[in-house]
Structures are given as C-alpha cells and as structure tokens.
Structure 1
Amino acid sequence: MTESKLLVAVIATGGTIASERDETGVAKPSLTGENLLSDVSKSDVQVKPIELMAKDSSSLTLADMQTISDAVGRELADPEVSGVVILHGTDAMEESALLVHLQHSLTKPVIFTGAQFTADHPQADGPGNLSAAIAASVDPSNTEKGVLLSFGGKLLPAWGLYKRSADEPDAFDLSGHAICPESPGFTGTVKDIRIDIVAIYPGCDAAHIDASLEAGAKGIVLAGLGSGNANTLIVDALNRCRESDVPVVVSSRVPVGELVAGYGGGGGGYDMGAAGAIHSRTLRAGQSRILLAAMIASSKKRADMADAFGDFQKMAKS
C-alpha cells in the first residue's frame, strides 16, 4: 500500500515569479501556478494550485491583500492541507505576509515566496525558491514561527521583514531583532481602510499630512528621519491629527535598527510622542501601514496600538 503524500496548497497571485518578457522586453505576469509547479520537483508532496490573481505586487491594494489573507484562511481551515505556499511579487511581499500573520493563528506552516528574476531569465530563481518554500511548508516545526518568507536561501519571519535589494537573489532581510510575536488574530477586514504614508525629509512642511487628513485617511504613517524624527511643523500637524482622532505612527526611512523616540529639540521623536504620535520600534513604513490598518479595522485603542508597535512587549536580542 502506497503511503499518501502530504498536500500543499500553492496560492498564485502573480509577481515576477510568474512573469515572462514580451516582444518589447516588458515583464508581465503570464504564468499560472500550475505552469510554475510543472518545473518544480515535488515527489514527496502533492500540490493543489490555486489561481487567485495575476498581478504585479506594486499594483496590489489593501483589498487585494485582504483577498490573499482570506484565501490563506480557507486553506488553513482545510484539514487535508498540510501547508500553504503563496507565490507573490517582491515589491509588496512584506506587507501581504504581515497581514496574513496578523489575521491568522497558524495550525500549519504558511510560506511566502517569489522571485527577483523572470521565469524566462537565464538566472531564474523562482523554481529554487518555490522548491524551498514547498519543503518549508511541510515541516511542522515552522508552524510556531508564524508566517515565513522562503527566499534566496533564507527563511525569515514576517515581522520586521523588508526588501533590501532590487537586483540580488538574496533580496530580503529584517529591520530589527524583535522576536516575531504570536498572531493577535485581528478579525477586521482592511479592504476599506485608508492609511497614508508620508515621507519626512529635511525642510519638509506638513502639506502632505494635511492632504491626507483632507482625503479622509483613517491613519497616517510617517517615514521619519533617523530614529523617527522630523521638525516643528510636523509636530504642529500631529496636534491637528489628534484633534481629528487620526492616529499617527512614526517609523523611519532608515532600513535597519531599533527605533527609539529619544530626541527633542522641538521636532524629534520625543516631541512627536508628546503630540500623540505612536513610535514604531521595529516595523518600517510599509509594514507599519499594514499593522495600523489591521488595528483600526479591528477597533483597537491607542494603548493597544502603542503596545503593538512596541513589538507587543516581546522584544529580545538575538
């Protein structure tokens, strides 16, 4: 009697891993999940391809990311499925992976993967990444690690994930050393939540913050300078955000390192905190937007947000 194979659900969403270049040299998603799986050795497992969407991740909306998260939830609920792999573009990989982590308490491994090079590139990295992701998805020990990214020979947690390179196979890293917190199991859908990211730069004013308020943003993330700093004009704008009951999270344009609200001077991180802003310890702007959206969608209070952006008080140095 032949031993039954483990079943892995492979959710295809598009991205470079599913892209080929047309006659003009432009890369576009054109391959299905079934196409991609045909080139991957999977003798030890049975795969179930799910054709969810075919998009470059740069064009994904929060509604699309919610669709991806919902699809993962359905596979987690299927007792026949042993693991879930999501094929995804690299531009927004860190955002979708974090949303799935925030919304689902895992009962089996969930692994994101993708590619830096198109499927028809001489150095195509998609097949190798996909093979590694499938292997990771049937290792039960990966369940307790939360949502993971398998990419370029690394297996990284979703919390603090960021894309560090636009042209290297080893494309991702972590912004800090926080232990990936357990999923809070947020239940609110983010598809209709508008969260804007505002870039802070030397000499900037608050025009973009005021525009976000005018546009009806439910929350704002600042990509601050250094450890999350700005200037007095931005601090003044934070008071207007507080009056409008719009939460503001301060992150940084610096990719790596723990962010500490230690500077004053009228426009530093300490001053922004005094004006009501929430400082993100680990998450950079893209992931901060996802966490803030998920918390607003789940009707969380400011104190809960401060705890979450402090890594749910589960910081530990590696």
Structure 2
Amino acid sequence: MMTRVVVLATGGTIASRFDASGSASVRDGGADLLTGLAGRPAQEDVVDVLHTNSYLMTLRDIRTVVDAVATQVARPDVRGVVVAHGTDTLEETACAVALCVDTPKPVVFTGAQRTPDSEDPDGERNLRDALHVAAAESSRGRGVMVVFAGKVLPAVGCRKLRTLDLDAFDAVNVPPLGKITGSRLRYSGPAQRALGALEALPMTAAFDHARVAVVMLYPGFDARLLDACVAQGSAAVILGGMGAGNANPAVQAWVAQAVADGTMVGLSSRVPFGPVAALYGAGGGASLAAAGAVGMGGLSIFQARILVAVLASASGQSLAPRTRSAVEALEHRSSR
C-alpha cells in the first residue's frame, strides 16, 4: 500500500494563470496541481481549502488553514500533509500552523514563484519535492516545514527574502533542516522539537479579529503613527526597530505610556538576520526594554505578529508576560 499524503490547496501563484490583460489570478484547484505530475511518491487526497492569492488572506483565512491541517493530521491513515500556498504570506500561515497544531506528522508548505503557464515554471518541482518530504518516514517529528527550491526549512524562522527569484525563501536565525535533490532527501541532523520548550498554543475564533499592528521605525520617527494604532484599537504593537532593536527617546516615552495603559509592545528588528538586543540607551533597545517592550528574540516581525495574535486570542494572564514566556521557550532550540 502506498503512503497517503493529503494536499491542501489554498491558491497562490502555483494555482494562478495569466489572462488577456497580462495579470495573473488564481484559476486552478487542487486536482489541477497534481494533473500530470510525475514521480509522485504517495497516494494523495486533495482538499480545496481556499482559492485566493496569499496577499489577500486574512487572519480568518489563516485559521481556516490551521483547522484544515489539524483535521487531516488527526486521520490515522495519513502520513503527512502538503499545503500549497501563495508565497507572499506563506511564512505567516506556516508559523501559525507550527504554533497551534501538535503532531509528529510532517506538515509541508510549498508554492511557486512562476505560474504554471509561464516559461519554465517552478511549481511542479516544488510540489513534487514537498510530497517526497511529507511522505518520508525520516520527516516524522521535524515539525512544520517549508520546501522550496530544493531547500527544507523550518516554518518558524523561515522568511521570503527574494521577491522574484525561484530561490525565494531562507531560514533566518535558525539552521535549515536539509535539502532534496530529485527524490533524495537529506536532513542535516536528527529530528528535534521545532518549537523548543513551547507547547502548542490554542487558537480561538478571536484570532480572526486580533488587532496586532506592525510599525517599522526610521530616523526621526515621532510616535504619532503609534498613537494612531492604539486609537484604532490595537491591543498590541510590534515595533520594527533599527539595528538590534533601537528607536529614539520619543518612542521610548511612548512605549512607557502605552505599557502603563495596557497595550502590549513587542520589539523586533527591521534587519532580517540576528536577534534584538538590549544594548543602547537614549531610546535604544535597553531603554525600550526598561520601558516595558518585550523583545521578540530572533523572530521576524511578521512571525512575531502571528505569535502575539495567537496569544491574544486566548484568555488568561496579560499578554506581555505570555509573549515573553513564549519567546523564551522558542529561543530554547538546540542548534545543529
């Protein structure tokens, strides 16, 4: 009997085609993705979950994917799950699944940079690779992964760094997991718990409406934009600090007041690689930490937003302590 893998189709470039105007939109369903795909290692079930480009996705759509993955990995006859997803926000959805779905079965996200009607499309290769990874016994216990351009990457710590190149994704602040060439899958080490000491988090319907703002900082930033975020109902604001997480005295003063008023403030960086660090005063990272900002470790600002939105959707103690504990648990991942 062949191994059974479920393919969850959500749309994206891998399912898009160009029209007469020269613009692309989602046309294909999940069954179309597999039509004519050679070298498939498993028997597939196909489920159409969404039919959209990922830049149009909402938090409700992300929860829909999380729920679909949880349903499929609960089936005893399923070895693994592949999620075909648009690349623009793939890192957010993959992170949400990693945080909220507790399973040893491999869950593999993939997509494409070129539509199937383009010259030299890449979707077939990525999908075939993802199927091999999902079907492999050696993938068990490695958590949620992203397979793209021959790379096997952890979902938490994966980021799209190139807008158009076929090699679009890399691991950021965590090691890559392995490579796949043809049907040969090579992992760089033994399976390890992808989320460190963090246990799977509950995602409730309140996630759909979680108001978590992301604001990138820059020279001369005067905090009025941050005031607007709170005025519009944001329960949390994630700052993309300069360098290792730096701002200025105006932002420091705003953080202190916002935290006193009950707004959770997270501190990430606009720099892709490296963690935030409390190094500088005068509005720098040390000043922001003293004012109550929660450092987001090595999480990208966009995955930090997903983590905080998941935490905000659950009742319990205030958001800042839960976020700090979650980040600390995530940081306790052994390196290879």
- The two structures share one fold, judged by TM-score above 0.5: yes
Q: Which residue of 1 aligns with 2:187?
A: none
Shift of 1:313: 4.2
Amino acid at match of 2:302: G
| 1:233 pairs with one of 250, 254, 271 | 250
The question of 1:288 aligning with 2:304 is answered yes
Shift of 1:33: 0.9
Normalised TM-score (structure 2): 0.89
The question of 1:211 aligning with 2:228 is answered yes
Cα deviation, 1:42-78, whole Å, max 9, x if unaligned, reads: 5531111111111111111111100110000100111
* Alignment partners' CA distance in 2, 1:143 and 1:297: 29
Normalised TM-score (structure 1): 0.94
* Alignment partners' CA distance in 2, 1:290 and 1:219: 11
* Alignment partners' CA distance in 2, 1:163 and 1:8: 25
| 1:142 pairs with one of 139, 144, 168 | 139
Shift of 1:311: 4.9
The question of 1:200 aligning with 2:200 is answered no
Q: Where do 1:68-147 residues align within 5 Å?
A: 68-147=65-144
Amino acid at match of 2:120: Q
- Contact kept, 8 Å, 1:110 with 1:148, in 2: the verdict is yes
Q: Where do 1:24-39 residues align within 5 Å?
A: 24-39=21-36
Q: Which residue of 2 aligns with 1:298?
A: 314
- Contact kept, 8 Å, 2:41 with 2:131, in 1: the verdict is no
Shift of 1:315: 4.3
Secondary structure at the aligned position of 1:116 is classed as coil
Q: Which residue of 2 aligns with 1:151?
A: 148
- Point out where structure 1 has 5 or more consecutive residues left out of the alignment: none
* Alignment partners' CA distance in 2, 1:160 and 1:241: 28
- Contact kept, 8 Å, 2:104 with 2:142, in 1: the verdict is no
Amino acid at match of 2:253: D
Q: Which residue of 2 aligns with 1:21?
A: 18
Amino acid at match of 2:173: G
Amino acid at match of 1:76: V
After TM superposition, the runs of 4+ consecutive aligned structure 1 residues lying more than 6 A away are: none
**Cα RMSD after superposing both structures:** 1.6
| 2:270 pairs with one of 253, 268, 290 | 253
Amino acid at match of 1:204: F
| 1:40 pairs with one of 27, 37, 42 | 37
Task: Assess, with a 3 A threshold, how the Cα gap between structure 1 residues 143 and 257 changes in structure 2: closer, same or farther.
Answer: same
Q: Which residue of 2 aligns with 1:242?
A: 259
- Contact kept, 8 Å, 1:282 with 1:311, in 2: the verdict is no
* Alignment partners' CA distance in 1, 2:117 and 2:75: 34
* Alignment partners' CA distance in 1, 2:8 and 2:15: 12
Amino acid at match of 2:94: A
- Contact kept, 8 Å, 1:106 with 1:143, in 2: the verdict is no
* Alignment partners' CA distance in 1, 2:40 and 2:66: 28
* Alignment partners' CA distance in 2, 1:212 and 1:45: 48
Shift of 1:294: 1.0
Secondary structure at the aligned position of 1:81 is classed as coil
Q: Which residue of 1 aligns with 2:182?
A: none
* Alignment partners' CA distance in 1, 2:311 and 2:140: 23
Q: Which residue of 1 aligns with 2:326?
A: 308
Indicate the larger mover: 37-46 or 168-177: 37-46
Shift of 1:317: 4.3
Amino acid at match of 2:292: G
The question of 1:180 aligning with 2:194 is answered yes
* Alignment partners' CA distance in 2, 1:233 and 1:240: 11
- Point out where structure 2 has 5 or more consecutive residues left out of the alignment: 176-192
- Contact kept, 8 Å, 2:41 with 2:132, in 1: the verdict is no
Task: Assess, with a 3 A threshold, how the Cα gap between structure 1 residues 43 and 283 changes in structure 2: closer, same or farther.
Answer: closer
Secondary structure at the aligned position of 1:229 is classed as coil
Shift of 1:290: 0.3
* Alignment partners' CA distance in 1, 2:299 and 2:211: 19
- Contact kept, 8 Å, 2:245 with 2:278, in 1: the verdict is yes
- Contact kept, 8 Å, 1:223 with 1:284, in 2: the verdict is no
Q: Percent identity?
A: 36
Task: Assess, with a 3 A threshold, how the Cα gap between structure 1 residues 51 and 315 changes in structure 2: closer, same or farther.
Answer: closer
Shift of 1:41: 2.1
Secondary structure at the aligned position of 1:155 is classed as strand
